[in-house]
C-alpha cells in the first residue's frame, strides 16, 4: 500500500434513509444495530464505514443484494449525500463542493460503468464512446480521435460504425467501458459490470479488464456479488453486510483469516490453495540464509503443489519477479493450505 494521501478516504460514513435522517443520527445511541435502526423507521444504507483507497489500487466491494455496496459507491461520487462522516477525494472534502465543483470533479476525475450498458441505440459505437466528450464540449475531431483510441484499446477496432443492436452482450459491455475511459478518469467506478453476461463472456471480460488495468493503472472500485470474480480481480476485498464493512483485506487474508462468521461463510467453499500466493505465507529472513532455488512470490500454493509435496526441505527461499530474495516459506504451513490442517 502507498504511503501517499489516499485517492478516496472515508471516515465514519453513514447514509441513512428516512425522515430527517441527520436529526435521527445526531440523537441515535452509539452501537445501534441495523435491525434496531430499522425498527425506528430508518434504513442504514451505509453504517459507520471507514476505509482508504490507494492510488492504483483495485478495491472490490462485495456482499449480498441489499448489503450497501452500490449505496457506498454512490456516496464516494456524491450521487448520494452522506448523512454523517467525511469523504475526501484527492484530499478534497466532497461534501464541501458546490454543484458546479462537483460536476467538474465527476467530469475530470471519475468514470462509471454500470450493469446496464446504457448505450444510445441510434448512435454508432464511435458516437456512443465520444458522447461524454461531446457533453464536455470537446471539438468533433479531437473527440473522434480519442474515441478511436479507446475503441482500439478495448478490442473493438473495425466495429466503430456498428450500432449497439449489431453487437453481442460482451461487445456492448466493451463499448460501455470504452465510453467511461474516453474521459481519461483517474478513478473508475464499476457496479457489477459483467453480471448480465454469460459465464464464458464474463471470463473473457475479466481477462480484458485485468489487461486494461495492467496498462492504465487506474484507481478502481469494483462492485460484485461473485466471490470468485472478487478473488480474481482484487488487490483488496471489502465484504459488506447491512451497510457495514465486515472485513477489508487482501484476498489471501480474507480466505486464511476471515474476521467474522459472515465472512467465513463466504470463504468456506473456496479452495484456498488457488487463492493464496507464496507471498502471503512468506516471513522475513532476518539475517538467516536459506539454501536452494527460490520459488516465485506470485505463485499460488496450488501451482507449487507438486514441488511442495516432493520437497525435503522444511523452509524454501522466496524471490520476487526480479529474482530478489524477499523471505522464506515454511513448507508445512503451505501444505496446510494445500491439504488442510492436520
Q: What is the count of structural domains for the chain?
A: 2
pLDDT reported for residue 117: 64
Nearest to 315 by CA among 300, 295, 329: 329
Supply the DSSP string of 175-198, one letter for each residue: HHHHHHHHT--SEEEEESTTTTS-
Domain co-membership, 83 together with 209: yes
What percentage of the chain reaches a pLDDT higher than 70? 98
Name the domain boundary from 271, 292, 317: 271
Mean pLDDT of the 185-189 span = 90
C-alpha–C-alpha distance, residues 118 and 212, integer Å:
21
Q: Does residue 3 lie within any of the structural domains? A: no
Domain co-membership, 22 together with 69: yes
Q: Does residue 219 lie within any of the structural domains? A: yes
C-alpha–C-alpha distance, residues 154 and 259, integer Å:
38
> What angle separates helix 140-153 from helix 125-136, to the nearest 10 degrees?
130
| 38-63 pLDDT, tens digit each | 999 999 999 999 999 999 999 999 99
Q: Does residue 1 lie within any of the structural domains? A: no
Domain co-membership, 71 together with 134: yes
Here the cell at position 51 is 476505509
pLDDT reported for residue 290: 86
Domain co-membership, 175 together with 105: yes
Mean pLDDT of the 326-338 span = 94
Beta bridge partners of 191: 114, 223
Instruction: Look at the block and give the residue holding cell 430527517.
Output: 20
- CATH of residue 308: 3.10.580.10
Residue 248, classed as helix, strand or coil, is strand
Q: Does residue 107 lie within any of the structural domains? A: yes
Q: Phi then psi for 289, rounded to 5 degrees?
A: -115, 135
pLDDT reported for residue 1: 43
pTM of the model: 0.85
Mean pLDDT of the 209-214 span = 84
Instruction: Note down the domain range covering 312.
Output: 274-339
Amino acid at each position: 500500500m502507498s504511503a501517499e494521501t489516499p485517492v478516496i478516504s472515508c471516515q465514519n460514513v453513514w447514509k441513512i434513509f428516512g425522515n430527517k435522517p441527520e436529526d435521527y443520527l445526531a440523537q441515535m445511541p452509539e452501537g445501534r444495530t441495523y435491525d434496531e435502526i430499522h425498527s425506528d423507521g430508518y434504513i442504514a444504507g451505509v453504517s459507520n464505514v471507514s476505509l482508504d483507497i490507494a492510488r492504483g489500487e483495485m478495491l472490490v466491494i462485495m456482499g449480498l443484494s441489499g448489503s450497501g455496496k452500490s449505496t457506498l459507491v454512490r456516496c464516494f461520487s456524491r450521487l448520494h449525500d452522506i448523512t454523517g462522516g467525511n469523504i475526501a477525494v484527492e484530499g478534497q472534502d466532497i461534501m464541501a463542493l458546490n454543484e458546479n465543483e462537483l460536476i467538474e470533479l465527476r467530469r475530470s476525475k471519475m468514470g462509471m460503468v454500470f450493469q446496464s450498458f446504457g448505450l444510445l441505440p441510434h448512435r454508432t459505437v464511435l458516437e456512443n464512446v465520444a458522447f461524454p466528450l461531446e457533453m464536455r464540449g470537446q471539438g468533433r475531431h479531437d473527440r473522434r480521435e480519442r474515441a478511436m483510441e479507446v475503441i482500439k484499446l478495448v478490442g473493438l477496432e473495425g466495429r466503430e460504425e456498428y450500432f449497439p443492436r449489431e453487437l453481442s452482450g460482451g461487445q456492448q459491455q466493451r463499448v460501455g467501458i470504452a465510453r467511461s475511459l474516453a474521459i481519461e478518469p483517474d478513478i473508475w467506478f464499476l457496479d457489477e459490470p459483467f453480471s448480465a453476461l454469460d459465464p464464458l463472456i464474463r471470463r473473457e471480460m475479466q481477462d480484458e479488464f485485468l489487461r486494461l488495468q495492467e496498462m492504465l493503472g487506474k484507481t478502481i472500485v469494483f462492485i460484485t456479488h461473485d466471490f470468485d470474480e472478487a478473488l480474481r480481480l482484487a488487490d483488496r476485498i471489502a465484504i459488506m453486510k447491512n451497510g457495514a464493512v465486515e472485513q477489508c483485506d487482501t484476498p489471501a487474508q480474507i480466505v486464511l483469516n476471515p474476521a467474522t462468521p459472515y465472512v467465513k461463510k463466504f470463504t468456506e467453499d473456496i479452495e484456498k490453495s488457488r487463492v493464496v500466493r507464496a507471498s502471503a505465507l512468506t516471513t522475513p529472513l532476518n539475517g538467516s540464509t536459506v539454501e536452494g532455488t527460490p520459488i516465485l512470490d506470485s505463485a499460488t500454493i496450488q501451482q507449487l503443489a507438486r514441488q511442495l509435496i516432493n520437497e525435503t526441505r522444511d523452509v524454501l527461499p522466496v524471490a520476487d519477479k526480479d529474482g530478489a530474495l524477499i523471505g522464506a516459506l515454511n513448507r508445512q504451513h503451505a501444505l496446510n493450505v494445500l491439504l488442510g490442517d492436520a
